[in-house]
Chain A
C-alpha cells in the first residue's frame, strides 16, 4: 500500500479546532454558500424524519383536517397509532419476528465471521492460502438470483424463516475487514506470548484477541443487524407464503394500499377481510418510526468507530 495510504493524524480523524495561522479568513460569500449547502442538505434529511414523527403522534381528526398526510406540528398528540401497533395483532407479531430474526441472525453471522477472520489472520498455517482465495473469489462472481433460489428450494428452506438468515449469513467483506484488523491492530508479540504460556488457538481468540477488538466487532455487528432488520427482498423471494412477514414487507404493503395501486388494492381487500380498517397515515408513520428507533438507539454508541471500520476495509485489506 503506497499510494492509497490513509493514516489519520493524532488519533482523531479531524484536524484541531482552531483556524491555523496561515489560513486566511474565507470571504463572506464563500462562507454563506457553504453554510447554505450544508444546512439545506441537513434539513432535507431531518425535516422529513420530523414530519414522520409528528404525523405518527397526530390524532385522527388533526390528520383529516390536514388532508390525510404529513404534518409538521402535531396539534393534538395521540398515542393511538402506537397502541394499535403493540396491541398484539399482526403488526406486533411482525415486529417480534423481525427482532428475533435480527438477534438470531446477527449472532450466527458474527460467529461465522469471527471464526473465519481469526483463522485467516494466522498466516502460514496449513491451507491458509487456498482458503483465503476461496473467500476472495466470491467477490468476483455472483451466482445469480435464480440458481440461489433453486438451491434454497433444494435445501427445503423455501417458506422457512431459516431462508431469511442462512443464505446471507456470511458477509465475506466483513470477514476481510475483521481479518485486516486482527492482523494489523493486534500486536503479534501478544499472541506469541499467549502461545508461550500454553494458550491454544481458541483460548487466544477468546481471551486476547476478541477483548481487544470490541469496537470493530460492534461496527460489524451493527452492519449485520441493520441488514437483517431491513430485510425486504429476501422475504419477498424466499418466504412469500408465510403468515407473519418481516416488518419491511408489512410496511411496503401499507404503502401500496395508500398509493391506490393494484397490489395495494389487494392488500386493502385483505385488511377488510380481516375486519381491520385500512392503515391511517398515523399508523403508517408510526410503523416507520418503529423501524427507525432501534437504529437510532444503537447508532450513537457505534458511530464514532465507523471511520475506522471503513478505512480498515478499504485500505489495509
Chain B
C-alpha cells in the first residue's frame, strides 16, 4: 500500500500585502500553509529578503565594513549596490540620523533621503525610524506626505503612537508595520487598533520584535509561529498579516557576531562567524513564518535567498 503523507489544510490564509507601487511593487504573504509546507498549501510569494541601509552609521563590525566599502556613507549608493549586486528584493532604510538622542536630523531631511533612495532602486522600500515615539510619528507624517502614492512600508507603529503613524499612512496610501514586544495578544491588539483607525488590513505588516540567536530567538520563534498558526488554522483575521523580522540589526549587535578574532581567537574567523550568526537567525525565523527578512551582510542575503529558492523547489 502506498504511503500517503498526512496533510492538514489551513482554514485561513495570510493576507497578500503589496509593497511599493507600479513596476516596483512586490507582494508578500498570501500563504495558505505553514512555512514551506508546500504539500499542504501554497506560498504564492516567496519570503522577501530586504537589505538594511542606514542613512547615518558609525563603525560597523569589520565584515560589514568590508562588504560595504565606500557606499557606507551614501545610503543611495548603498541601496543601489544592495539591489544590483547583492540581489536584495527590497530596501529597509533605517533613518538613524533622526535619533533625537544623537544627531536628531529633521523629518524633512530624512524624507529627502527616503525619496532619493526610492528613486534609485526598482524594489519596494521599507522606512523605519529609531523607535522614538514622537520622532517616528513626525517622520511618518512628513515621509507619507512627500512620498504619496509610493506605498512605502512605514514603521514602526507602536501602541503609543499608532494613530500618528497610521493616519498619514491612510491619507497618503502607504503601508504600515506595527511593532509590539514579542507577544501574540499585543500584536493582535495593535492590528485591531490600527484597523479601527481606518487602516485596511491589507496595508498592515506585523513586526513582532526580533531576538537574535542566543538573545531571545526562541521567544521570537514561538510568538511568530503562534501568530502564523492562529492566522492559518484558527482563521484569526487580526493575525493574518505578513510578518517582518528585523534580523541584521539584532544579529550584528551580538558579541558573538561583532567581536574580532583578536578578542576571541578560539571563536574562529570573525566574518564567517558574523555571517553565520545572521544567517542562522534568519533561517530559524524563516521557519517560524517570517515573510520579510531584513539582513545586513551580502553573504547572508545570498545564503538566505538560496535556501528560500531550494525550499521552494
Q: Are A and B associated in one complex?
A: no
Residues of chain B touching chain A, judged by Cβ–Cβ distance below 8 Å, are none
Question: Using a CB–CB distance below 8 Å, which chain A residues touch chain B?
Answer: none
